Structures are given as C-alpha cells and as structure tokens.
Structure 1
Amino acid sequence: MSKLSQFNSFCEKKIMPYANKMAKQRHLASMRDAFMSLLPITLMGGVAAIIKSPPITENTTNIFLLKWAEFATGNSGILNWLFTFTLGAMSLYIAIGITHFLCKHYKMESFLPILFVIVGFFLLVTDPIELGYASKSIEIAYIDGKGLIPAILISILTVEFYRFMKVRDFGRIKMPESVPASLSDVFAAFVPGFIIIIIYIIIYTIFSKLDTTLPKFLFSLLAPTFKAVDSIFFTVAITLITHLLWFFGIHDAALAGIMGPIRDGNLSINAAAQVAGEQLPHVFTTPFWVYFVAIGGCGAVLGLAILLITAKSKQLKTIGKMGIAPAMFGISEPLIFGVPLMLNPVFLIPFIFTATINAVVAYLAMSQNIVDKTFSMLSWNMPSIIGAFFSTLDWKAVVLVVGLIIVDMIIYYPFFKVYDKQLVAAEKEEEGDL
C-alpha cells in the first residue's frame, strides 16, 4: 500500500468521524446556520459602508467620484444609521439566529427563548449612559463584531437553561385545557424566563460593580487570542487544514461554526472602522477568504477551470466548460467532484497549496498596506475580481486577484497536463476497444 493510500485510510478511519461529528454538533451547526442566514443584513451593511467611503484623495478630479463624495457627506447621518443597525449590529442578529436554530434542533418553539436572549443581550452587551423619563441613552459600541463572544454565550446558555427547566416542567403553571395553547406556553415559560432574566441582571450587577461590562471584560481578556488568530501563521494553518479536509471529502462547512465568528467578527470591526474613518485593524475576514484565498471556491479552482477548457481529454474539456461558470461565482463542487479533485492523488499538492499561497500573498499585501484591507461583504458568490474591489475600494485589489489567478494556473498546470495525458490515453484505449 502506498503512503498516500495509508494516509487516506488513516484520515477516513481517524479524522473523518471526528470532523463529521463536529460539523453536526448542534451548537456549531447553529452558529454556522446563523452566520449564513445573516447575508441580507450584511449585504445592506456592506452597501452602506461602500457608499459612505468613496475612494478619493485630495487630488481626485473625477466627476463621478467627487459627486459620490458629495452624496456621502450630505447623507452621512443616514448611512451611519443604516450601517449601525445592519452590519454594525451583527452580534444582536447572531444571538437571535443561534437561538432560533438551536431551538429548531431541539424541536422547541423559538419565540420565547429569543425574547429572553434579547433581554439578556441588552442587559449585558449594552451599557446605560442616562436612563431618565424624558430620554434614555445607552452605549452600543459592542453590538457589532466585538460583542460576538458574549452574544454566542448568551444565546446558547439561554436556550440550554430554558430547555433544562422546560423538559422538567420546572415552575410550570398549569392552565385549564380551555386556555389557548399559545397562552398556556407563556405561563409555562413564566418561571424559567424570570429565573433567566434574574441571572442576567446579577451578572450585569457584578460587572457594573467592577466598573466594566461583560463584552469589555471578555474583549480585553481575549485580545491576545484575537491578535494571534489574525496572523499569517493562523491564516496559513486554517487554509491548509480546510483544504486537507476537503481533499478527503469533508466539506469546509465543518469548520464554519468555528471560523464564522472569527471572520465575520473581524469584518464587522473593519466595517465600523471604515465608516468611522479609522485604520482597519484586521486582515483575516470573510471577504478576504472568499475573494482572495478561495478564488473559485475551495481549492482556488478558477485557475484550473480555465486550464480545463484547453484540455485534450474530452472528459476534462467537458467538465471545464460546465465548471468554469460556477467557479467564477465561487462554487467549486462541480470541479471537485467532476474532475475529480477529491481523493485524486494527482491533484493533492495543488489542491491544498494553491489556496495557501493565495492566503500568504494576499495577507502580506494587506498587512504591509500594499493593498487595502477588506471592510464589506456583498455576496459569497460574487466573482472574486468584482468582490475584491468592492470589499476594499482599492483598484490594486483587482490586480492582486488577477495575479493570483495566473499563479494558480501556473501551479495547477503541470498536474493538469499529467492528468490530461492519462485521460487522453484512457479515452484512446477505450475507443480502440470499441
């Protein structure tokens, strides 16, 4: 047995069961689904951030850009308000989403748990400035990506604690059968809801006495971890792991529950900094991954798709024609399963390392301020060349993506030629048999 076959067997027996379990784990799956469902809101937030940030300098003379800047300045209040409660309120919507999907997993109605989560979120993630009869002011600085960790904790703990009491009928107030089911459920949730809210107000009181809040405390505590995660070493490691798992048939969705909070949280923080006119702090974001690393989908297969059109093999040429359009929109499955790339020893090296090289080059370009960092995410399926520009508003990002696609083609080329030659020989042999 070859070393690749031995490694394949090891992955199938030891790694794949754990990866599949992780993909199906209810909390991670709920987080994944919540982040995926947020696309319409993040889209609107990205549009607001783009409109608010015209790419102009003191020397700009282009009429269109100057009019854009004039519009952005005149409507900055509206655009800021739109951004604040779309992408700028990501943590709130993620808390609601996780609650809904986790309740769905448990086959529970999600409405009341969502209400309890919203109460807990505003008690713990916001901070009162002035609470008077005429006006109320609160600090909402942590409802964006900086509040994702407390939002995730609040939603998961609320659902789990609520379910723990509900299945045991703890404090259940039984109503006559004539009472509508919806009203009966409200009374059944009265005691659990009361206890949950009391717990949250106790937590708030503790942090208030310490002159801080839960998100501020967690953010300061985890700051070194966040900094380590947003590094070239982590970026390379996660790119290698993702593509190694994909090669053996484990979809990258298995890691979405872990990576979503990191990538989308960094994106939200970058977007807030962009709208505020401040320096963008993070490189590793969702658009960085989608538009600059996985160009054409996992495996960075757009470059390979272009090569396949030139194949001499009928099979590869057909797959190339069928797969290039999906690859342009970030969908790699037709090529992964059609070529196939998965479990194909010929393509092991390029499949794993092409995206990794993209990650290294793009990370260095952005961290060294050669190319602007990303701050908006308009669509998972937007072609990388277009997405690269609108996520950065930097024309150099387009040049970078084009260059990376050419590099990807160069990396894939020798392996493509070997496989194309093999298939051509097989096709000729088959025709000869006929």
Structure 2
Amino acid sequence: MMNKFETFMSKYLTPIANKMDQNRYLSAIKKAMVAMTPILLIGSFCLIPEAIPNMIGPNNPISQWITTNLDIIYIPYNVGMALLSLYVTAVIAYHLGKHYKLDIPGVLCMAIIAFLMMGVDYGEDGGIKSTYLGPKGLFAAMFASIIAVELFRWCKKKNFTIKMPESVPDFVSRSFEMIPISVIIIGFFLIIRVVCVNVLNTLPPLVFTNLFAPLVGSMDNPFAVTFLQILRCLLFFCGIHPSVLSPITSPISTQFLAENIEMVKAGGEAIHFFAPGPESAFGNFTGTGVTFGLVFWCLLSKAKAMKQVGRISLIPALFGINEPILFGAPVVLNPIFAIPYVICGGIIGSIPYWMMYFGWLKCSTFTPPYVGVFLEGYLTNFDYMSLVANGIQLVLSILIWYPFFKIYENRELLAEKEKEEKQDIFSAEDQALLDDLHLDF
C-alpha cells in the first residue's frame, strides 16, 4: 500500500516540482529563501538564551550573565532577521537579474531602493523604523524586487538609456546608462507609495496584509482557527513569514486574553481559546506547521544532507523554531511537502483549539515566556491536558510526515548516487593505466 502511495505521489508531484523549479520568479524566491538559512539559523539561536533563565531560575550566574548581555546576544538577530526583507530583496533581484543577464550591481541597487521606498517608515523623531524591513515586509520585498528587475529589463530592451562614446570608461558609461532607468523605477515606486499613503492611508506593506483581513474575521471559532493555521502554513510554504497576519490577529487574541482573565477573576471560566499563548504553544508547536515529524525522520535519514539538516534543526524545533528545517530541507516551495505541511500541519496545529472548544482543555489565561515545547503549553492554562494535546500533535506529525519524507529521501539518495558516479567515472586501476600512458592533451 505504501509503495503504491509513494509511486502515485512521485508520478504526479515530481513533474510539478520540476515546473516550479523552472519558473524564473518562483526559482528566484526559492533561492532567496534558501540563502537566508544562515541568517535565520543564527537569529533563531539568538532567541534561545532568553528562555534559559525561565527554565533554571533567575538567581544563578548563568541566568544573570544572560540577562545582563541580552543586548549583545540580540545583535545578530537585529542585523539579521530584523532586516530579512531587505536581504531577500537583494537576493531575488540578483537571481532574476542573472537569469536575464542584466547588470547585477544596477539591478541590486534599483531593487533595494524600490523596496525601501515601499517599506521604510519614520518615527516621530524622524528616524527610520525597521518595522517592515523584517519578516513583515516580505510581501513588499518580493513585489518590489520582481517589478524593479522587470522594469530594468524593459528599459534596457526599449533602449531607455544614455549611450556614451566608446572612449568613456566602462564604469562611467554604465553610471550614465542607469540615469533614465533610475528615474523610471524610482518614479514608479514613488507613485505607489504616494497613492498608498495619501489615498489608502497606509504604507504599501500593509496593503498586502489588509487583503487578508476579510478572510480572518472573528477568530473565536474553531473552523476559523483551523483555516488560519492552514493559511499561515501556506504563506510560510510560499516563503512569506506568517507574521504578516499579526497586525490583524494580535488585537483580537489580546482582547480575548483580557476577557478570559476578567472571567476567571470574577469566579467564572475562560471561554476564548484564540489567545497569544496557544498561538505559540499549540499553533506553532515545534514551529509553524508542527514540523517535528520531518526533523525526526531527517535525523534517521540515509541521505547525508537531510541527516545534517535534521541535526541542525533539532534544538531549534524544541523551542518552537522551525526555520532551519523549513529552509534547510527545504519545505518552502517544495511541492512534495505541500500536503503534510500546509494542510496536515495546519490541522495538527489546530487540534488543541478544538479540544478547548469541546471543553477537554482549559482556555488560556496567561501568555508564558519562551520556555520551549510542552512546558510552554502547560503554562498557558496550567492544565496537564496541554501535555496530552502536545503529545497527540507530536505523534501525528511523525506519522503523517513519513511517506512524504520517504519520497523526498529517495530523490536525495538518487541525486547523491549520481553525484558520486560523476566523481568516480574511472576506477583506480583505470586511472593508474591512464597515468602510465603519460597522455598530454
């Protein structure tokens, strides 16, 4: 039965995967997300130390040292993940410009300027705010980089450039060629910003976010929560951080939490299950989409690359961080992993919400600090059933990911074998014979 299932999935998913790899836009986005793996990994590890004082107590040398040096520990995060969209813009523009064989420095400059014109916000003191330069600006980053490169290519195709005599040095000539292109690209994105700010009364990145507002609606409903979990997984699968939805969902969940606390203080019971604590502890158990099953099987994989990804992803997964496995496996834009991640992952992430809805699990009255899996879930409601809920999620994740993992592992093993065969075209005896002939080509 399993072999038939794997054959069926390989027959229909592999062609889709190949077509997606050949699409220039999806390919550029995918390569950009994979290129962000070191930044995401370092940034994720920077968040782990904050949880240690909560686990071992604050009154010890280790916790005190961490608390004292948190500002230093967060520096890689602040210059890495906090500026993620800026880096994604540059990498997408690089790969797309390379595909079109355009001037890479010019393409990078135009794409970055285009994104900054859409995503930069200013504080009351006139300083630049990095709100939309991080994961929340990924929609705008993808849009800006792709449109900027396409405008760049269109200008070159239509010869909207300034031609200099051949006697002029190449670097000077290229600078003059960029002037009309710069005017067109900057003018285009300036118009977008002006329209969004003055007509829509919002920054461009929020326009993308607001498109999802009607889909979210009232979240005090298990069907809506399940849909939201699937939507988050779908966004992450496309390389877009689901935090873009937080401006819509956070006010609702915070209000529900406040009402739960008031109900308990009045001697009643909490009734709202959509709250910040469960979002992290249950909805994002081991990471958005409950990807621990994939981490587990990667650790046991025969493919060297996947085994290494599993090792790197294990500790972050225990703290609810799954960017290493999402971009390392990768899960992002990988059709083979679409079903277990987007659909099954979204459903598994919503199971504890259904348990709250039916009264099998207490609703949240507390948003715990970042203390890792299982303990975080317990602290949201101080109900031991939360451990059962997380246990169910863990087991289902391991079971569901197995057949899809095996399909991808077989592809990886085949690729490794082909690579080894290319490296070992000649046997040791053949190579020695060739050496003895002293052939000089």
TM tier relative to shorter chain: 0.5 to 0.7
Distance across 1 between alignment mates of 2:194 and 2:66 = 41
Query: Greater CA deviation, 209-218 or 102-111?
Result: 209-218
In 2: Cα distance, 1:23 partner to 1:34 partner: 13
Query: Which residue is equivalent to 1:141?
Result: 131
Aligned match for 2:29, one of 24, 28, 31: 31
Q: Which residue of 2 aligns with 1:111?
A: 105
Q: For 2:158, give the aligned amino acid.
A: R
The count of corresponding residues between Structure 1 and Structure 2 is: 333
The AA in structure 1 aligned to 2:23 is Q
- The answer to whether the aligner puts 1:91 opposite 2:91 as a matched pair is no
User: 2:238 maps to what in 1?
Assistant: 259
Q: How does 1:52-67 map to 2 (within 5 A)?
A: 52-56=50-54, 61=57, 63-64=59-60, 67=62
Shift of 1:110: 2.0
Work out the CA distance in 1 between the residues paired with 2:292 and 2:342. Answer: 6
Percent of matched pairs sharing the same residue: 22
The 3 A distance-change label for structure 1 pair 39 and 93 is: same
Which residues in structure 2 correspond to 1:50-199 (within 5 Å)?
50-56=48-54, 61=57, 63-64=59-60, 67-68=62-63, 70-80=64-74, 82-129=76-123, 136-170=126-160, 172-199=161-188
C-alpha separation in 2, matches of 1:152 and 1:412:
29
Among 351, 366, 382, the residue aligned to 1:364:
351
- Name the amino acid aligned to 2:44: G
Deviation for aligned residue 1:29: 1.0
Match of 1:232 among 226, 230, 240: 226
Hey, what's the Cα distance between the residues in 2 that align with 1:36 and 1:412? 21
Are the counterparts in 2 of residues 129 and 139 from structure 1 also a CA contact under 8 Å? yes
Deviation by residue 1:239-266 (Cα, 9 ceiling, x = unmatched): 9xxxxxxxxxxxxxxx999521145867
SS at match of 2:212: helix
Residue by residue over 1:140-166, the C-alpha shift from the partner in whole angstroms, topping out at 9 and shown as x without a partner, is: 222222211111111110001111111
Q: 1:40 to 1:410 in 2, by over 3 A?
A: closer
Closer, same or farther in 2 for the Cα pair 1:191/1:356, shift >3 Å?
closer
1:217 pairs with one of 202, 207, 213: 207
AA aligned to 1:259 is C
RMSD: 5.3
**1:255-287 CA-partner distances (Å, limit 9, x unpaired):** 9995211458679x99xxxxxxx9468566696
CA contact (8 A) 1:130 1:138 kept: no
Contact 2:293 2:399 in 1 (8 A): no
Q: CA deviation at 1:91?
A: 1.5
- CA shift at 1:33, angstroms? 0.8
CA contact (8 A) 1:266 1:285 kept: no
Q: Give the counterpart letter for 1:142 in structure 2.
A: Y
Q: 1:75 to 1:226 in 2, by over 3 A?
A: farther
Give per-residue Cα distances to partners, 1:372-422, cap 9 Å, x unaligned: 99999xxxxxxxxxxxx8689859899988876766778899xxxxxxxxx
What is the distance in 2 between the residues matched to 1:17 and 1:404? 31
1:12 and 1:408, CA in 2 relative to 1: closer, same or farther beyond 3 A? closer
What does 1:347-386 correspond to in 2, within 5 Å?
360-365=347-352
Distance 1:411 1:42 in 2: 26
Secondary structure of the residue aligned to 1:295 is helix
Distance 1:208 1:406, change over 3 A: closer
2:254 equivalent in structure 1: none
- Report the Cα offset of residue 221 of structure 1: 3.1
Aligned partners of 2:279, 2:397: CA distance in 1, in Å?
Answer: 25
Measured in 2, the distance between the counterparts of 1:324 and 1:141 equals 34
Distance 1:354 1:263, change over 3 A: closer
Amino acid at match of 2:190: I
What do residues 214-240 of structure 1 show as CA deviations (whole Å, max 9, x unaligned)? 12333233334578999534756999x
List aligned pairs for 1:252-291, cutoff 5 A.
259-262=238-241, 279=276, 288=287
How many angstroms apart in 2 are the aligned matches of 1:80 and 1:323?
A: 29
Counterpart Cα distance in 1 of 2:47 and 2:205: 24
Q: Secondary structure at the match of 1:261?
A: coil
CA contact (8 A) 2:97 2:103 kept: yes
In structure 2, runs of 5+ residues without a counterpart are 250-274, 315-324, 326-335, 357-362, 379-385, 403-441
Q: CA 1:353/1:6 → structure 2, altered by over 3 Å: closer, same or farther? A: closer
Aligned residue for 2:167, secondary structure, equals: coil
Residue segments in structure 1 that go unaligned for 5+ positions in a row: 240-254, 271-277, 306-318, 333-342, 344-350, 377-388, 414-434
Partner of 2:409: none
Q: Structure 1 residues 169 and 104 mapped into 2: Cα distance closer, same or farther (>3 Å)?
A: same
Amino acid of the structure 1 residue aligned with 2:142? I
Amino acid at match of 1:74: T
Secondary structure in 2 matching 1:178: coil
Question: CA-to-partner distance for each residue in 1:281-321, whole Å, 9 max, x for gaps?
Answer: 8566696258x435245xx6469x5xxxxxxxxxxxxx979
TM score, norm. by length of structure 1 = 0.58
